[in-house]
Amino acid sequence: PNEGCQKTLKNCNELLPTLPQSKAWWFDQLFQYQGFWIPSFGIRGSMLINDHFKPRPTDIIVATFPKCGTTWLRALVFSIINRNSFDVSDHPLRKANPRELVLFFEGYLHNYESTSFVDGLTSPRLLSTHLPYSLFPTRMTDDTSACRFVYICRDPKDVFVSKWHFANKLRPKELPPLSLEEAFDLFCKGVSEYGPFWDHGLGYWEAGVESPKKVLFLKYEDVKKEPLGGVRKLAGFLRVPFTPEEENNETVAEIVKLCSFESLSNQNVNKSQTSGGERPGGNSDFFRKGEVGDWVNHLSPEMVEKLNQITEQKLQGTGFNF
Residue selected from 165, 214, 219, 232 as contacting ligand A3P according to rule CB under 6 A: 165
Name the residue nearer to ligand A3P (CB basis): 67 or 200: 67
Pairing of strands 148-153, 215-219: parallel
Residue selected from 40, 114, 162, 311 as contacting ligand A3P according to rule CB under 6 A: 162
The DSSP line for 96-109 is S-HHHHSEEHHHHH
Which among 52, 110, 130, 165 is annotated as catalytic?
A: 130
Phi, psi of 104 (to 5 degrees): -75, 105
Q: Which stretch binds ligand A3P (CB under 6 A): 49-57, 120-128, 158-166, 297-305?
A: 158-166
Interface positions, 283-322, toward ligand A3P (CB under 6 A): 286-290, 294
Closest distance of CB 72 from ligand A3P, Å: 4
Q: Which stretch binds ligand A3P (CB under 6 A): 21-29, 63-71, 103-111, 233-241?
A: 63-71
Give dist(CA 194, CA 206) in Å, integer.
18
* Residue 52 binds ligand A3P, judged by CB under 6 A: no
Helix axes 40-52, 3-15, angle to 10 degrees: 140
Closest distance of CB 259 from ligand A3P, Å: 5
* Category of 239 on φ-ψ map: left (φ > 0), alpha (ψ -120 to 50) or beta: left
Closest distance of CB 69 from ligand A3P, Å: 5
Closest distance of CB 10 from ligand A3P, Å: 32
Would residue 130 show up in a list of annotated catalytic residues for this protein? yes
Q: E strands, 5-93, where? A: 21-22, 30-33, 36-39, 60-64
Name the residue nearer to ligand A3P (CB basis): 114 or 128: 128
Give dist(CA 195, CA 288) in Å, integer.
22
What is the contact mask toward ligand A3P in residues 180 to 219, using x (rule: CB under 6 A)? ----------------------------------------
Closest distance of CB 166 from ligand A3P, Å: 7
Cis peptide before 66 (omega within 30 of 0): no
Name the residue nearer to ligand A3P (CB basis): 108 or 287: 287
Give dist(CA 213, CA 215) in Å, integer.
6
Closest distance of CB 98 from ligand A3P, Å: 8
Closest distance of CB 244 from ligand A3P, Å: 27
Interface positions, 65-84, toward ligand A3P (CB under 6 A): 66-72
Give dist(CA 201, CA 131) in Å, integer.
11
What is the contact mask toward ligand A3P in residues 231 to 270, using x (rule: CB under 6 A)? ----------------------------xxx--x------
Name the residue nearer to ligand A3P (CB basis): 71 or 251: 71
The CA radius of gyration of the chain, in Å to the nearest whole number, is 19
Name the residue nearer to ligand A3P (CB basis): 68 or 81: 68
Q: Which residues contact 82 (CB under 8 A, 6 or more apart)?
A: 92
Q: Which of 10, 18, 30, 60 is nearest to 196 (CA)?
A: 30
Contact between 64 and 128 under an 8 Å Cβ cutoff? The reply is yes
Size of the site for ligand A3P (CB under 6 A): 21
The DSSP line for 119-143 is HTSPSSPEEEE-S-GGGS-HHHHT-
Q: Is the CA virtual torsion 12, 13, 14, 20 positive or negative?
A: positive
Q: What are the residues binding ligand A3P (CB under 6 A)?
A: 64, 66-72, 158, 162, 165, 259-261, 264, 286-290, 294
Give catalytic residue positions. 130
